[in-house]
Structure 1
Amino acid sequence: MSEPTYYAPEGGLPSQTTLLTDRAVVKEAYTVIPRGVLRDIVTSNLPGWTNTRSWILARPIAGFATTFAQYIVEVSPGGGSTQPEPESGVESVLFLLTGALDVVIEGEKHQLTAGGYAYLPAGASWSVANESDAVASFQWVRKAYEAVEGIPAPKPFAVQEQDIEPTPMPDTDGAWATTRFVDPNDMSHDMHVNIVTFEPGAAIPFAETHVMEHGLYVLEGKAVYRLNDDWVEVEAGDFMWLRAFCPQACYAGGPGKFRYLLYKDVNRQIKLT
């Protein structure tokens, strides 16, 4: 299988002649952060990381994400971290967009290339290093793990998404499919980070309205996305946050596949007290 091509920002600044108009929007039910605003001056440095910068796409604040944080992390050659996670109760997913990274999980080394996926449970010992001569960029999704008495915590793992067969959605003849990295019925997991793929012209044919909150990073292609009562054009490199119960649907625009990395919180009872 050929090496996947995913979008990762490179920073820089637009020229002084560039129009200010862009597609960035923040609303009560959703937010769109287009790739054109991921510039040098909006990066963040992270404690404990060397030769690294990040674009923080989502964090828990009033009127925005409530269950997770999501970053794009860019690691230059020789960079990385031996203590990347400062909170013992936080689980993570890493998804490599470009380059190559060595990820050591509980003493076991995994060499990830584009499409590499690592699940890191809360309390796990892990590190990241870029031993190559090229920049590596990855998605980092963090969530406070919600333990349930009698259900064991999930185990760490690392895979390449190219090695996982996508699951077609019912009655779509494969036009809409999901690459699942964990079994949806595995109650140890309280979040899923999957890849959703649409063939050109495929659609979500109804307005999904559900309890899961979403962080959605477009890996490839373009589409028109329905967010609450708006239709919004999105393309590779754009990020969307969708509040719980925000109606959502989309049409894939072609000419190639439309693919995105999708976070959602799952498998837990609603807390009322």
Structure 2
Amino acid sequence: MTSSYFSALGGHPPQSDILTGRAVFTEAYAVIPKGVMRDIVTSYLPFWEKTRVWVIARPLSGFAETFSQYIMEVGPGGGSTQPEPDDKAEGVLFIVEGRLKLTVAGKSHDMEPGGYAFIPPAAAWAVRNDGAMAVKFHWIRKSYEAVQGLEPPPAFVTNEKDIAPAPMPGTEGRWATTRFVDLADLRHDMHVTIVTLAPGAVIPFAETHVMEHGLYVLEGKAVYRLNQDWVEVEAGDFMWLRAFCPQACYAGGPGNFRYLLYKDVNRHMRLPSFR
């Protein structure tokens, strides 16, 4: 399977542009279109060199509370030997442009577009761009929910091209999911997958569930149902959904519609304590 990943962020619009756009933030969902991910909204992180970051999701009380998602841009010679300040945080890296050297659990990996890495909590890891071009990747972070009797899962590195997508039943492969983690492995409390819908394929019911979502469109376009609204999305857009937000989709074509999907899984719901 040949795939491309949207990565053309930054820049600044001219004064002649109108400001009407597709960005929206509601009580149930947010759409952050690619056109608002400009230079002016980037930030920098401690102990990261020659690196800037677009923060596209962060825990918000009353909205989506379980994860953060960054788009990282690491310039030539940049990187970090102290990337994660929180020893309770697990992470997933997904490369969309350039090449990145990742060292984790004492092993070095040369990651290229499509590369996927899972990093467990308290892991020692580092990243560096030894190339002549910038590297762009998604970094999804979550506080790991430990369970007595279950060890945290180990680090691993792979590439989506080496994993066969699993078709959804009854779809003849027109709706498929690339899974990087075994669904039966309860050590994992989050799944980050890639969903692919062929032109004209649909999610034919309004999914309504407890899992929070981050959906970054890697390729293509679609009309997405979010709560009671239909919104058009395309490569480079990000959708951010709180728990129980109804969702469905029509893939628009002419090529595949593909997105990087986060969801929290495999844990009991935390209950309030009244004392």
State the TM-score bracket (shorter-chain normalisation).
Answer: over 0.9
* TM-score normalised over the length of structure 2: 0.97
Q: 1: CA distance between counterparts of 2:63 and 2:47?
A: 27
Any conservation in 1 of the 2:102–2:110 contact (CA below 8 Å)?
A: yes
Q: How many angstroms does 1:63 deviate by?
A: 4.1
Q: 2: CA distance between counterparts of 1:108 and 1:139?
A: 21
Q: 2: CA distance between counterparts of 1:258 and 1:13?
A: 27
Q: 1: CA distance between counterparts of 2:63 and 2:78?
A: 31
Match of 1:30 in 2: 29
The residue type paired with residue 171 of structure 2 is T
The residue type paired with residue 90 of structure 2 is E
Pair 1:64-2:63 in alignment: yes
* TM-score normalised over the length of structure 1: 0.98
Q: 1: CA distance between counterparts of 2:55 and 2:74?
A: 14
Match of 2:204 in 1: 205
Q: How many angstroms does 1:185 deviate by?
A: 1.0
Q: 2: CA distance between counterparts of 1:206 and 1:31?
A: 20
Q: How does 1:1-273 map to 2 (within 5 A)?
A: 2=2, 4-273=3-272
Q: 2: CA distance between counterparts of 1:64 and 1:209?
A: 15
Secondary structure of 2:40's partner? helix
The residue type paired with residue 162 of structure 1 is K
Structure 2: gaps spanning 5 or more residues: none
The residue type paired with residue 150 of structure 1 is G
Amino-acid identity (%)? 64
Q: 2: CA distance between counterparts of 1:7 and 1:224?
A: 18
Q: Alignment length, in residue pairs?
A: 272
Any conservation in 2 of the 1:165–1:179 contact (CA below 8 Å)?
A: yes
Secondary structure of 1:104's partner? strand
Secondary structure of 2:101's partner? strand
Any conservation in 1 of the 2:221–2:233 contact (CA below 8 Å)?
A: yes
Q: 2: CA distance between counterparts of 1:127 and 1:179?
A: 26
Q: 1: CA distance between counterparts of 2:153 and 2:55?
A: 26
The residue type paired with residue 94 of structure 2 is F
Q: How many angstroms does 1:77 deviate by?
A: 0.6
Secondary structure of 1:41's partner? helix
For the aligned residue pairs, the C-alpha RMSD in angstroms reads 0.8
Any conservation in 2 of the 1:56–1:71 contact (CA below 8 Å)?
A: yes
Q: How many angstroms does 1:271 deviate by?
A: 1.3
The residue type paired with residue 129 of structure 1 is R
Secondary structure of 1:36's partner? helix
